[in-house]
Amino acid sequence: MATGMMAMGISELLIVLLMGGTMNGSGMLGYPPGDRDAALVHAAPADSLLYAEWATRGPGEPGAEGIDGLAADPEVREFIAKIEKAILTSLERELRNEGPESQTFGKAVPPIVKLLLVQPGCVFARFDEEAAAKALTQAGELGPAAVALGIEGALVVNAGDQADELQRHIESLLNMPGAVPPAQRVRNLAHQILPLPTPAAHLELHREGEHFILAFGKGVADETVKGLGKADGGIASNERFTKAIGHAETKRVASVSWIDVKGILSVVVETLGFQGQMVQSVAESTGLDAIDSVASVAGVEEGRLSSRVFVTTGGEIDGVLALVAGRGVTPEDLEVVPGDADLVYAFSLDTKKVLAAAREVVRKSDPTGFAFKAMNDTLTKLDEELGFSIENEAFDAFGDTWILFDSPANGGVLLTGLTAGLEVRDHEKAAKIHARLMELLETTMPGVEQGEYRRTGAELAKATFMDHDIFYVNVLDDDLPFSPAFCLTKTHLLVAPHPQPLKAQLRFLAGDETSFGEQLAQRIPHPDAPAVMMSYVDPKVAVRGLYAVAPMFGSMVFGEIQQEGADIDVFSLPSARALLPYVKDSYSFVVRTDEGILVESHSGLPVPVSGAMSMQAMALPWFMIAGVEEFGAVPRPARAAVVVKGVAAEAAPEPESVLEVEEKDEKDEKDEKGEAKPRRAKEVKPAPLRRDVKPEPETRP
């Protein structure tokens, strides 16, 4: 495999680093959060529709747990320093033969971006009705132009003691030919107007002490300066804002954001005319009009990267919000999960309420009633094909709680032993539905055919283990590494990628081992209100799996980067001991309250791409299995062309498989009407081997 497919260039690396430095306090260049700028919440107007603020980045603390310790680790600090140096070196090399403008751009932009990522700042946006009215006068009708020209906002950054350096880099960009006409240049960035292609738009850059303001809209910069000088007012005086943020409080704040959903919907409806009325209709029919605002606070708690998002709904659960109308997951629901599970995901879904809400959404969305009728007809047809009623039988047979877990004691390593379970409410009804589903699955199997030399095909097999029937797909081939298995117990319908996790699970249920539900209080700080979803992950397993191959992938990645002139090699990659000591378990949950919905997560991976890293690491076994053939471990016959001495000759046709030959020779069975009968899977048991007879060696034609 070419290294270019696995590696990234220096430009892509720069994008990753900059995108990692988002406002959630966990950017690659954004160390643990430091202090916030208290003036920023007063600079944004009280009627802001959007507000986002981020704190300065701290240096970390040697020996501390989680993200603080990682940020201060010598290997990690050296690695980040080399990456920054590699970026600058590569840019200088790429721009060496370019014009002076490109060289100036390359030297000024990286320091500006880095400074913006590590210094506190905010961004806000509001809607100016007067500006929109002018747009209406010019356009003569309602439309998107009224919305676009009515938007005002600003980016505010406190550069601190690096303000002069930031100004120097910004001015070097403004002095580039074509950036700003000389007649419009001002000194010390005092209300510097930046040209825009739209004459009606106004973009202004202004420095006020240590603060830099990039304002969109006339007069916005002056109003922002006034707000920075006040000790009250601004969005901090908005009661809806402060109340929503209060529901998402975090101990050490890295970022704060707020979206006024109600206000945005009002602006859209009032300014877009007929299109706005359509948006309003969709919001009402789907129940989204119940959302007042969305507030988010991210930070650090006990070494974990924490995030709380609160959706203010007033407790409504209509429309799409019916997805959180479940009764909630309890410790008793998790007693089926082994205590050593390193991945647990559970949620409660009131299927009857969800279906009723879906019907209501469709009914309101289509006044003609055609969509509503089509939906009911589809459900009726599906019931007929399944042989049971989903709404009246399946919903009564099975409960609201769904679980997914991976247990090392059950054979799970990096998702290899995933087991899913659906709560059983009425075992007698569930048994009938399960039997019907297995019957339907069996009809989809091609069956096992005995060829001249070997058996091929796939069948639904059944085996009894510890007084339970386990159904599994038995595939007579070497291309599929899965054998999906199903088992119905008194309490759950279990599904796994292989029969082995189900056999291990039955042994656990029959024993007296500690369950995850009994350890829930120690693993996850359970909230007071019902948690309609909760998850738990021990990321150390994923990190160990990732670091088992990290040096190999790192060698290819850094090899590619070095080709572009960067002075960084695989030795720069931190060792596992520079990361593992700071890794903690992760958990999250979704809680429904009387005022809204709280989504809370605590990541124990102290890195910005914790979610992506853990999923990539857990997917490694399947990636390696899928790549076996690609690397040539499993030889395959040539298919397209044979090259002989540089001349492409037509390849001989690939031999037909035994199954294909048999299918050609077989005559389709006909029914009374002369039509081919559908083929069903059939159980073919191999003949017992006699101990005194040795099987003849298999031969191929």
pLDDT in tens, 337-391: 998 998 999 999 999 999 988 988 888 888 888 999 999 999 999 999 999 999 9
Residue 679: other Cβ atoms inside 10 A: 13
pLDDT for the residue 504:
94
pLDDT more than 70, % of the chain: 79
- pLDDT of the residue at 696: 44
Across 51-65, average pLDDT = 88
Note the pLDDT of residue 650: 38
- Contacts within 8 Å (CB) and 24+ apart, 633-642: 634/478
pLDDT category of residue 146 using cuts at 50, 70 and 90: low
User: What count of residues does the chain have?
Assistant: 701
The answer, yes or no, to whether residue 647 has pLDDT greater than 50, is no
How many Cα atoms within 13 Å fall on the side-chain side of residue 701?
9
Residue 420, amino acid: A
Nearest to 574 by CA among 585, 564, 583, 584: 583
| Residue 31 and residue 10 in contact, taking contact as beta carbons nearer than 8 Å | no
220 has a pLDDT exceeding 90: yes
At residue 161, does pLDDT exceed 80? yes
Q: What distance in Å separates the CA atoms of residue 115 and residue 121, rounded to the nearest whole number?
A: 11
User: Which amino acid, residue 443?
Assistant: T
Confidence grade of residue 202 (pLDDT, cut at 50, 70, 90): confident
CA dihedral of residues 79, 83, 89, 94 (deg, nearest 10): 150
CB-based contact 267:125 (threshold 8 Å): no
Indicate if the pLDDT at residue 291 is higher than 70: yes
Locate 195 and state its tokens: 């040209």
Residue with tokens 């919905």: 597
Distance (Å, rounded) from C-alpha 114 to C-alpha 341? 41
307 contacts 589 by C-beta, under 8 angstroms = no
Asked if residue 543 has pLDDT above 50, the reply is: yes
CA distance readout (Å), 685 to 12, 486, 568, 596, 626: 56, 21, 61, 58, 30
pLDDT number for residue 144: 58
CA distance 22 to 497: 37
From 36, 34, 23, 32, select the one nearest 158 (Cα to Cα).
36
Rounded to the nearest angstrom, the gap between the alpha carbon of residue 146 and the centroid of all alpha carbons in its chain is 34
pLDDT at residue 143, rounded to an integer: 54
Residue 696 sits at the vertex; the CA angle it makes with 694 and 697, to the nearest 5 degrees, is: 125
Q: Bridge partners of 462?
A: 471
Where would I find the beta strands (DSSP E) of 324-382? 343-348
CB 348 within 8 A of CB 327: yes
Please give the mean pLDDT across all residues of the chain.
79
What distance in Å separates the CA atoms of residue 51 and residue 699, rounded to the nearest whole number?
74
Amino acid 112: pLDDT: 86
Looking at per-residue confidence, does 495 or 585 come out higher? 495
Question: Are 515 and 337 spatial neighbours (Cβ–Cβ below 8 Å)?
Answer: yes
Q: Hey, which of 282-286, 424-428, 621-625, 682-686 has the most confident mean pLDDT?
A: 424-428
**How do residues 304-336 score in pLDDT, each as one tens digit?**
888 999 999 988 888 888 888 888 888 899 999
At residue 160, the 3 state secondary structure works out as helix
Structure confidence at residue 315 (pLDDT): 84
Average pLDDT estimate for 671-675: 45
